[in-house]
Amino acid sequence: MNPLLEDWTAPFGAPPLDRIGPEHFASAYAQALADHDVEIARIAGNAAPPDFSNTIAQLERSGKLLARIDAVFNAFAGSATNGALQAVELEMAPRLSAHWTAIYLNAPLFARLDAVWQRRADLGLDPESMKVLERIHLDFVRAGARLSPEARARMDAINQRLATLSTEFSQNVLADEDSYVEPLSEAEVAGASASLREALAATAKERGIEAPYAVTLSRSSIEPFLQSADSRDLREKLFKTWIRRGRNPGAHDNSAVMAEILSLRAEKARLLGYETYAAYKLADSMAGTPARARALLDKVWAPARKRALEERDALQELVAEEGGNFPLAPWDWRYYAEKLRQRRYDFDDDALKPYLTLDNMIAAAFDTAARLFGLGFRPRSDIPVYHPDVRVWEVSRDGKSIGLFYGDYFARAGKQGGAWMSSLRDQESLGGEVLPLITNNCNFIKGDPALLSFDDARTVFHEFGHALHGLLSLVRYPRLSGTNVARDFVELPSQLFEHWLEEPQVLSRFARHYRTGEPMPAALMDKLVAARHFNQGFQTVEFLASAFTDLDFHSKSLENYDTLALESASLAAIDMPDSIAPRHAAQHFGHIFAGEGYSAGYYSYLWSEVLDADGFEAFREAKDPFAPALAKKLHQHIYSAGGTRDFTESYRSFRGRDPEIEALLKGRGLETNDA
């Protein structure tokens, strides 16, 4: 029996992840695709006049088996992959693309859908039904449903090729990350804190390295090392290795892959009547146009660059003071910034980490959700998982179960880098209540216990904010569920939730020493708050550089794309400081090349930050971070509404007005006189 095709009998109908292997996916996908083809043919060929029930609602009910197999496969491909799964991924990417393209370009199906849409004002639809009709119709139009037969055939070929290329891109980056481990001697970890040494020793043991320590290219491993290692030569070597992921000579070089992706995306946009891919992509966003997205980046860039140059000068003075005779380089910044922070604020990450255990930060996130939204969390040991690291909680509200939350927090071989939220099943109620199964993935270094930096703790809250967006969803139609919202709105629930981590009410309860149980001393907490704006110029500049590059990549329609030259030109145009590298070098910029999700949309983190900074200001104005009336509005209009409403209206309903940028600039310490 194939466990993917069985009835899932675990509690909550959870998938039997512990019994699924690479060998099960081919036959499961074949069955799911065939079933979906039959369902689509039945809808498209229905002899009855098209109406909402027999066309839109049936589209929303179709493809259930495919959706559940896709969700499980994506979980394995992102968090527990191997050669066999990667082979399946490469095989299925173009087949799945062809399947969906055939649906969106199905002329009889679109004719029925369009007929319903044309009569939408006369159908007496409730607001959510009207929204799903408009959304699905727009999905088809943006996919090319109105193209000529010749253009449709070309669109199909483009989509299949893009699916293959995006898969190759992410597999190349993962190959570079997995294949590199740097053994370290006792002398080479000079400067590293005790907690970092423990983590590097655990990495060496886990990877089977004979040396006492080892560092990998996982951000959670290499960034702390760059921040503390005394050896400048070793910092330079590791930094350059880190940023060259996806650009090393050989089979895993992404240069040609990126160029072809950009070329095909530009052609796709032209087929659909847009001048550039960025114009196509942002037409379906809150920003609306690349010009509006760039205007936001420009407004923040000037004060951010000014602050970063001031920070650079201070770090350069520290280099000279210590006898260094070299200009500050990107591999020096984190090291000297940490020294300067210790000097100015009399604390470092190592002073914080004993108070920031992973388990306590998870508990803090849960408690915050309980106080805001009335949620409860109960560990479940009877839910199958794909790796022993994964933990599961049942989530409840008002005494009623509302879903499962899976937490997968540790870095390991076969797991993509970074942090993300995903879904094993989305909430909906079209055919009866379906509870969501939501996953958070992070890449922390395993310890006993796992000790986090403050940025790591913020990541826990960020990803859990995404999880809440999925868990609290309360909609009827799958297409509008949870995080199925505009790209520059989707980061609002996650980034907004981060603010509660810094609240004294939260830190005083959950930031406790892992050995003594004592709360973080008030003096240390005060220092943490005082240092909130430290190094914000650097952090803002490295993000903005990647956002500008993304928009520039996708705002051109060229014969040939030299991605390295384009990246260099983009950075030169904004006068990027030499001592700071973009947060994501192009060749491993998975947000924009390992799929189309954030392509031409990396700016959306900043767009959402305008919303989240302004939104949390409402709680500050109320002088209560858990103000019940505001929390109720937040739940109703942001976390539970999914894509059922216009996103600008959703924000206004919560905040009472449109967002203002001042809170973002203040939050980053970038206020200007003319802001």
Residue 674's pLDDT band, with cuts at 50, 70 and 90, is very low
Give domain status of residue 253, yes or no.
Answer: no
Strands 391-397 and 213-216: unpaired
Tell which of 573, 602, 631 closes a domain.
602
Domain that holds residue 490: 354-528
Q: Note whether 371 and 515 are same-domain residues.
A: yes
Residue 126 and residue 80 share a domain: yes
Tokens of 20: 């699924």
Instruction: Return the percentage of the chain with pLDDT > 70, whole number.
Output: 99
Q: What is the pLDDT of residue 550?
A: 98
Whether residues 394 and 470 fall in one domain: yes
Looking up residue 471, the CATH number of its domain turns out to be 1.10.1370.40
Tell whether 87 is covered by a domain. yes
Residues 335 and 367 occupy one common structural domain: no
Are residues 126 and 275 part of one domain? no
Is the domain of 39 the same as that of 186? no
Check whether residue 360 and residue 505 sit in a common domain: yes
Among 151-160, 426-435, 568-577, 666-675, where is mean pLDDT lowest? Answer: 666-675
Q: Are 376 and 396 in contact (CB under 8 A)?
A: yes
- How does residue 348 score in pLDDT terms, banded at 50, 70 and 90? confident
Number of other CB atoms surrounding residue 609 within 10 Å: 24
Which of 394, 463, 491, 542 is labelled catalytic? 463
Q: What sign does the CA torsion over 372, 392, 458, 641 have?
A: negative
The mean pLDDT of 408-414, rounded to a whole number, is: 94
pLDDT in tens, 129-148: 999 999 999 999 999 999 99
Instruction: Quote the pLDDT of residue 347.
Output: 83
Q: Does position 675 have pLDDT exceeding 70, yes or no?
A: no
Residue-wise pLDDT for 520-572, tens only, equals 999 999 999 889 899 999 999 999 999 999 999 999 999 899 999 999 999 99
Judging by beta carbons within 10 Å of its beta carbon (0-12, 13-18, 19+), is residue 25 exposed, middle or buried? buried
> What pLDDT, on the 0 to 100 scale, is given for residue 81?
96
- Do 407 and 502 fall within a single domain? yes
Number of domains, the chain? 4
Res 349 pLDDT > 90: no
Residue 350 has pLDDT above 90, yes or no: no
For residues 672 and 308, the model is more confident at 308
**Residue holding tokens 């959950």?**
510
Question: What per-residue confidence (pLDDT) applies to 29?
Answer: 98
Q: pLDDT confidence of 152, banded at 50, 70, 90?
A: very high
Which residue is listed with tokens 């799911």?
A: 32
Residues 17 and 133 in one domain: yes
Continuous H helices in 144-254: 149-179, 194-206, 219-228, 232-243
Q: Is residue 2 part of a domain?
A: no
Is the residue at 308 inside a domain?
yes
Average pLDDT, stretch 358-365? Answer: 98
Give me the CATH number covering residue 276.
Answer: 1.10.1370.10
Q: Are 549 and 406 within one domain? A: no
Per-residue confidence (pLDDT) for residue 672, from 0 to 100 = 62
- Please give the average per-residue pLDDT across 86-114, as a whole number: 97
- Residue 44: inside a domain, yes or no? yes
Query: What does the pLDDT look like over 173-218, one tens digit per residue?
Result: 999 999 999 999 999 999 998 889 999 999 999 999 999 999 999 9
**The pLDDT of residue 220:** 87
435-465 residue pLDDT tens: 999 999 999 999 889 999 999 999 999 999 9
Q: Is 3 contained in some domain?
A: no
Q: Are 392 and 416 in contact (CB under 8 A)?
A: no
Indicate whether 115 and 208 sit together in one domain.
no
Q: What angle do CA 521, 523, 528 make, to 5 degrees?
A: 95
Of 502, 528, 554, the last residue of a domain is: 528
Question: Of 577, 602, 627, at which residue does a domain stop?
Answer: 602
- Burial of 263 per CB tally in 10 Å (0-12, 13-18, 19+): middle
Residue 632 lies in a domain: no
DSSP assignment letter at 174: H
Look up the CATH number of the domain holding residue 110.
1.20.1050.40
pLDDT band at 48 (very low <50, low <70, confident <90, very high): very high
Any domain includes 660: no
Q: Enumerate helices (H) and strands (E) in the chain, giving the number of each.
A: 27, 7
For the chain, give the mean pLDDT: 96
* Residues 499 and 370 grouped into a single domain: yes
Percent share of the chain, pLDDT over 90: 95
Annotated catalytic residue 89:
no
